Structure 1
Amino acid sequence: MKFSFAHNNLNVTDLDKSLRFYEEALGLKAARTKEASDGSFILAFLTDGVTPHQLELTWLRDWEKDSYDLGDNEFHLAFAVDDMEAAHAKHREMGCICFENEAMGIYFIADPDGYWIEIIPA
Protein backbone atom coordinates (compact mmCIF):
# COMPACT_ATOMS: atom_id res chain seq x y z
CA MET A 1 0.00 0.00 0.00
CA LYS A 2 1.39 3.39 -0.98
CA PHE A 3 -0.05 6.84 -0.28
CA SER A 4 0.77 10.08 -2.07
CA PHE A 5 -0.31 13.67 -1.49
CA ALA A 6 -3.33 14.79 -3.50
CA HIS A 7 -4.28 18.19 -2.08
CA ASN A 8 -4.55 20.43 0.96
CA ASN A 9 -7.75 22.29 1.79
CA LEU A 10 -8.32 25.82 3.05
CA ASN A 11 -11.78 27.21 3.70
CA VAL A 12 -12.25 30.74 2.40
CA THR A 13 -14.87 33.43 2.96
CA ASP A 14 -14.65 35.06 -0.50
CA LEU A 15 -13.74 32.60 -3.23
CA ASP A 16 -13.25 35.16 -6.00
CA LYS A 17 -10.95 37.29 -3.83
CA SER A 18 -8.94 34.21 -2.84
CA LEU A 19 -8.65 33.00 -6.44
CA ARG A 20 -7.32 36.41 -7.48
CA PHE A 21 -4.84 36.44 -4.58
CA TYR A 22 -3.45 32.96 -5.24
CA GLU A 23 -3.03 33.69 -8.93
CA GLU A 24 -1.35 37.06 -8.39
CA ALA A 25 0.81 36.07 -5.41
CA LEU A 26 1.79 32.52 -6.39
CA GLY A 27 0.74 31.96 -10.01
CA LEU A 28 -1.80 29.27 -9.05
CA LYS A 29 -4.72 28.70 -11.39
CA ALA A 30 -7.95 26.77 -10.96
CA ALA A 31 -7.58 23.35 -12.57
CA ARG A 32 -11.19 22.47 -11.86
CA THR A 33 -14.14 23.52 -9.75
CA LYS A 34 -17.09 21.67 -8.30
CA GLU A 35 -20.30 23.28 -7.14
CA ALA A 36 -22.85 21.46 -4.99
CA SER A 37 -26.13 20.93 -6.79
CA ASP A 38 -27.88 22.88 -4.02
CA GLY A 39 -25.31 25.70 -4.12
CA SER A 40 -24.16 25.03 -0.56
CA PHE A 41 -20.47 24.90 -1.44
CA ILE A 42 -17.96 25.50 -4.20
CA LEU A 43 -14.59 23.77 -4.39
CA ALA A 44 -11.76 25.17 -6.49
CA PHE A 45 -8.67 23.03 -7.02
CA LEU A 46 -5.61 25.18 -7.75
CA THR A 47 -2.49 24.00 -9.52
CA ASP A 48 1.00 25.38 -9.95
CA GLY A 49 1.18 23.67 -13.36
CA VAL A 50 4.32 21.79 -12.28
CA THR A 51 3.56 19.39 -9.44
CA PRO A 52 0.52 17.10 -9.14
CA HIS A 53 -0.26 18.47 -5.65
CA GLN A 54 -3.22 20.86 -5.56
CA LEU A 55 -4.65 23.42 -3.16
CA GLU A 56 -8.38 23.04 -2.62
CA LEU A 57 -10.21 26.24 -1.69
CA THR A 58 -13.65 25.62 -0.19
CA TRP A 59 -16.36 28.26 -0.04
CA LEU A 60 -19.38 27.44 2.15
CA ARG A 61 -22.60 29.33 1.42
CA ASP A 62 -23.99 28.96 4.94
CA TRP A 63 -20.83 30.07 6.77
CA GLU A 64 -22.17 33.00 8.77
CA LYS A 65 -18.92 34.38 10.17
CA ASP A 66 -16.62 36.75 8.30
CA SER A 67 -13.50 34.73 9.17
CA TYR A 68 -12.26 31.32 10.29
CA ASP A 69 -10.62 30.65 13.65
CA LEU A 70 -7.04 29.88 12.64
CA GLY A 71 -5.87 29.24 16.19
CA ASP A 72 -2.21 30.08 16.56
CA ASN A 73 -1.76 29.73 12.78
CA GLU A 74 1.15 27.31 13.31
CA PHE A 75 0.14 25.26 10.26
CA HIS A 76 1.07 26.63 6.88
CA LEU A 77 1.78 25.87 3.25
CA ALA A 78 5.27 26.39 1.83
CA PHE A 79 6.22 27.38 -1.70
CA ALA A 80 9.74 27.26 -3.14
CA VAL A 81 10.59 30.05 -5.56
CA ASP A 82 13.48 30.38 -8.01
CA ASP A 83 13.86 34.15 -7.54
CA MET A 84 13.48 35.16 -3.88
CA GLU A 85 14.34 38.80 -4.55
CA ALA A 86 11.64 39.22 -7.20
CA ALA A 87 9.10 37.27 -5.13
CA HIS A 88 9.81 39.37 -2.04
CA ALA A 89 9.45 42.60 -4.05
CA LYS A 90 6.13 41.41 -5.53
CA HIS A 91 4.74 40.38 -2.14
CA ARG A 92 5.95 43.60 -0.51
CA GLU A 93 4.16 45.55 -3.27
CA MET A 94 1.00 43.49 -2.63
CA GLY A 95 1.28 44.24 1.11
CA CYS A 96 0.85 40.59 2.07
CA ILE A 97 4.15 39.88 3.87
CA CYS A 98 3.28 39.10 7.49
CA PHE A 99 6.56 37.75 8.90
CA GLU A 100 10.20 37.67 7.82
CA ASN A 101 13.05 35.55 9.14
CA GLU A 102 16.11 37.07 7.51
CA ALA A 103 18.48 34.74 9.37
CA MET A 104 16.82 31.73 7.73
CA GLY A 105 16.29 33.50 4.39
CA ILE A 106 12.53 32.93 4.39
CA TYR A 107 9.36 34.93 4.83
CA PHE A 108 5.61 34.40 5.12
CA ILE A 109 2.70 35.97 3.30
CA ALA A 110 -0.92 35.97 4.47
CA ASP A 111 -3.83 35.25 2.17
CA PRO A 112 -7.16 37.16 2.38
CA ASP A 113 -8.39 34.84 5.16
CA GLY A 114 -5.19 35.12 7.20
CA TYR A 115 -3.64 31.76 6.29
CA TRP A 116 0.15 31.96 6.32
CA ILE A 117 2.20 30.77 3.34
CA GLU A 118 5.95 30.27 3.71
CA ILE A 119 8.17 31.39 0.83
CA ILE A 120 11.51 29.58 0.62
CA PRO A 121 14.34 29.62 -1.91
CA ALA A 122 14.24 26.72 -4.38
Structure 2
Amino acid sequence: MEFTFMHNNFNVLDLDKSVAFYKKALGLIEERRMSAPDGSFTIVFMGDGRTGHQLELTWLRDRTEPYNLGDNEIHLALCVEDIEAARKMHKEMNCVCFENHDMGIYFIEDPDGYWVEIIPKRK
Protein backbone atom coordinates (compact mmCIF):
# COMPACT_ATOMS: atom_id res chain seq x y z
CA MET A 1 0.00 0.00 0.00
CA GLU A 2 1.42 3.39 -1.02
CA PHE A 3 0.28 6.83 0.05
CA THR A 4 1.13 9.99 -1.88
CA PHE A 5 1.02 13.57 -0.62
CA MET A 6 -1.74 15.58 -2.28
CA HIS A 7 -2.13 18.88 -0.41
CA ASN A 8 -2.00 20.83 2.82
CA ASN A 9 -4.83 23.14 3.86
CA PHE A 10 -4.75 26.66 5.29
CA ASN A 11 -8.05 28.37 6.12
CA VAL A 12 -7.88 32.07 5.20
CA LEU A 13 -9.93 35.19 5.89
CA ASP A 14 -9.23 37.06 2.64
CA LEU A 15 -8.87 34.62 -0.26
CA ASP A 16 -7.75 37.19 -2.84
CA LYS A 17 -5.09 38.57 -0.49
CA SER A 18 -3.80 35.06 0.27
CA VAL A 19 -3.72 33.98 -3.39
CA ALA A 20 -1.80 37.16 -4.26
CA PHE A 21 0.65 36.57 -1.39
CA TYR A 22 1.47 33.00 -2.42
CA LYS A 23 1.85 34.04 -6.08
CA LYS A 24 4.25 36.87 -5.23
CA ALA A 25 6.15 35.33 -2.31
CA LEU A 26 6.57 31.78 -3.62
CA GLY A 27 5.60 31.85 -7.30
CA LEU A 28 2.72 29.46 -6.70
CA ILE A 29 0.01 29.34 -9.34
CA GLU A 30 -3.69 28.76 -9.01
CA GLU A 31 -4.32 25.28 -10.37
CA ARG A 32 -7.96 24.78 -9.49
CA ARG A 33 -10.85 26.62 -7.80
CA MET A 34 -14.15 25.35 -6.51
CA SER A 35 -17.04 27.03 -4.72
CA ALA A 36 -20.14 25.81 -2.95
CA PRO A 37 -23.34 26.41 -4.93
CA ASP A 38 -24.66 28.49 -2.02
CA GLY A 39 -21.45 30.56 -1.80
CA SER A 40 -20.63 29.31 1.70
CA PHE A 41 -17.03 28.43 0.82
CA THR A 42 -14.42 28.72 -1.89
CA ILE A 43 -11.33 26.53 -2.17
CA VAL A 44 -8.29 27.43 -4.27
CA PHE A 45 -5.54 24.90 -4.91
CA MET A 46 -2.13 26.51 -5.42
CA GLY A 47 0.79 24.58 -6.91
CA ASP A 48 4.41 25.06 -7.88
CA GLY A 49 3.94 23.73 -11.43
CA ARG A 50 6.61 21.06 -10.91
CA THR A 51 5.34 18.69 -8.21
CA GLY A 52 1.86 17.37 -7.57
CA HIS A 53 1.76 18.77 -4.05
CA GLN A 54 -0.70 21.64 -3.59
CA LEU A 55 -1.62 24.21 -0.98
CA GLU A 56 -5.38 24.29 -0.45
CA LEU A 57 -6.60 27.74 0.60
CA THR A 58 -10.11 27.55 2.06
CA TRP A 59 -12.30 30.61 2.53
CA LEU A 60 -15.48 30.29 4.61
CA ARG A 61 -18.11 32.99 4.02
CA ASP A 62 -19.32 33.09 7.62
CA ARG A 63 -15.85 33.33 9.18
CA THR A 64 -15.10 36.88 10.34
CA GLU A 65 -12.50 36.35 13.09
CA PRO A 66 -8.84 35.48 12.58
CA TYR A 67 -8.02 31.81 13.02
CA ASN A 68 -6.39 30.78 16.30
CA LEU A 69 -3.14 29.17 15.20
CA GLY A 70 -2.11 28.20 18.74
CA ASP A 71 1.65 27.89 19.00
CA ASN A 72 1.82 27.83 15.17
CA GLU A 73 4.21 24.88 15.14
CA ILE A 74 2.69 23.60 11.89
CA HIS A 75 4.23 25.02 8.74
CA LEU A 76 5.00 24.40 5.09
CA ALA A 77 8.57 24.17 3.83
CA LEU A 78 9.81 25.03 0.36
CA CYS A 79 13.33 24.92 -1.03
CA VAL A 80 14.82 27.48 -3.36
CA GLU A 81 17.99 27.58 -5.51
CA ASP A 82 19.01 31.15 -4.63
CA ILE A 83 18.10 31.64 -0.99
CA GLU A 84 19.77 35.07 -0.78
CA ALA A 85 17.67 36.44 -3.65
CA ALA A 86 14.57 34.91 -2.08
CA ARG A 87 15.41 36.39 1.34
CA LYS A 88 15.95 39.82 -0.25
CA MET A 89 12.54 39.66 -1.97
CA HIS A 90 10.80 38.47 1.21
CA LYS A 91 12.45 41.22 3.28
CA GLU A 92 11.21 43.76 0.72
CA MET A 93 7.72 42.23 1.14
CA ASN A 94 8.19 42.61 4.93
CA CYS A 95 7.11 39.01 5.55
CA VAL A 96 10.28 37.47 7.06
CA CYS A 97 9.32 36.54 10.61
CA PHE A 98 12.24 34.39 11.80
CA GLU A 99 15.77 33.66 10.63
CA ASN A 100 18.04 30.83 11.74
CA HIS A 101 21.44 31.78 10.35
CA ASP A 102 23.15 28.72 11.87
CA MET A 103 20.86 26.39 9.91
CA GLY A 104 20.77 28.64 6.82
CA ILE A 105 16.96 28.87 6.80
CA TYR A 106 14.28 31.46 7.46
CA PHE A 107 10.51 31.68 7.74
CA ILE A 108 7.97 33.99 6.14
CA GLU A 109 4.50 34.73 7.50
CA ASP A 110 1.40 34.84 5.31
CA PRO A 111 -1.54 37.28 5.78
CA ASP A 112 -3.26 34.87 8.21
CA GLY A 113 -0.19 34.22 10.35
CA TYR A 114 0.85 30.86 8.90
CA TRP A 115 4.61 30.34 8.68
CA VAL A 116 6.42 29.00 5.61
CA GLU A 117 9.99 27.73 5.96
CA ILE A 118 12.42 28.63 3.20
CA ILE A 119 15.30 26.18 2.79
CA PRO A 120 18.26 26.41 0.40
CA LYS A 121 18.28 23.65 -2.19
CA ARG A 122 20.87 21.12 -1.13
CA LYS A 123 23.42 20.22 -3.75
* TM-score where L is the length of structure 1: 0.98
Runs of 4+ off more than 6 Å: none
Q: CA RMSD in A?
A: 0.5
CA distance in 2, matches of 1:61, 1:49: 28
Stretches of structure 2 that go unaligned for 5 or more consecutive residues are none
Task: After TM superposition, give the deviation of residue 64 of structure 1 in Å.
Answer: 2.6
CA distance in 1, matches of 2:51, 2:116: 17
CA distance in 1, matches of 2:8, 2:104: 25
Task: After TM superposition, give the deviation of residue 96 of structure 1 in Å.
Answer: 0.1
CA distance in 1, matches of 2:10, 2:34: 15
Counterpart in the other structure of 1:86:
85
What aligned pairs does 1:59-78 form with structure 2 within 5 A after superposition?
59-65=59-65, 67-78=66-77
Task: After TM superposition, give the deviation of residue 51 of structure 1 in Å.
Answer: 0.5
**Secondary structure at 1:4 match in 2:** coil
Counterpart in the other structure of 1:26:
26
User: Is contact 2:30–2:45 with CA below 8 Å preserved after alignment?
Assistant: yes
**Secondary structure at 1:31 match in 2:** strand
Counterpart in the other structure of 1:43:
43
Identity of paired residues, percent? 64
Stretches of structure 1 that go unaligned for 5 or more consecutive residues are none
Correspondence 1:103 to 2:102: yes
The total of aligned residue pairs comes to: 121
* TM-score where L is the length of structure 2: 0.97
CA distance in 1, matches of 2:91, 2:2: 40
Counterpart in the other structure of 1:5:
5
Tell me the amino acid that sits aligned with residue 23 of structure 1: K
CA distance in 2, matches of 1:64, 1:25: 25
Per-residue CA deviations over 1:85-122 (Å, capped at 9, x if unaligned) read 10000000000000000000000000000000000001
Counterpart in the other structure of 1:117:
116
